[in-house]
């Protein structure tokens, strides 16, 4: 499947002051970026991908069905915007393909016999450790 492309116009960004290192810049520049994207109204994302995204990443989704992703890793607003978009694309690509169905399997006969043999040996070992008192 192709990479999912979402137009930049569907994103809303807000900026705030970042925590952590930054020197004197930290008190006057809003570098922390918060990306908001309405996943329900998006027409650029297939429905089945939306369903898998909502199921897997429900903790990123607000009650207004907005995907909220924050970044304050970098000291520049542009880098943090790019980081938010990169995070969203990696999340979308992780749910782009449906998961493979699990096929239940049985252990092989040799594995079962090996396990039973091991149990038998352990039981024998414990039986030999017992102190036997003969009443002769």
Backbone angles phi, psi at 90, to 5 degrees: -70, -35
Q: How far is residue 101 from each of residues 97, 98, 108, 128, 132, measured CA to CA in Å?
A: 12, 9, 21, 48, 55
How sure is the predictor about 23, in pLDDT bands with cuts at 50, 70 and 90? low
Question: Which domains are delineated in the chain?
Answer: 1-131 (3.30.160.20)
Give the model's pLDDT for residue 21.
66
- pTM of the predicted structure, to 2 decimals: 0.68
Residues 73-128: tens digit of each pLDDT? 888 889 999 999 999 999 998 898 888 999 999 999 999 999 999 999 999 999 98
Stretch 30-58: mean pLDDT, rounded?
A: 89
């Amino acid at each position: 499947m192709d990479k999912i492309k979402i137009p930049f116009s569907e994103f809303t960004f807000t900026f705030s002051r970042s925590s952590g290192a930054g020197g004197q810049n930290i008190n006057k520049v809003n570098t922390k970026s918060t990306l908001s994207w309405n996943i329900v109204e998006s027409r650029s994302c297939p429905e089945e991908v939306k369903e898998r995204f909502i199921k897997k990443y429900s903790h990123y989704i607000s009650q207004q069905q907005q995907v909220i992703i924050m970044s304050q890793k970098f000291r520049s607003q542009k880098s943090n915007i790019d980081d938010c978009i990169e995070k969203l694309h990696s999340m979308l690509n992780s749910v782009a393909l449906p998961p493979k169905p699990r096929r239940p399997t049985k252990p092989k006969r040799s594995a079962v016999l090996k396990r039973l043999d091991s149990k038998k040996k352990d039981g024998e070992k414990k039986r030999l450790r017992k102190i036997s008192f003969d009443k002769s």
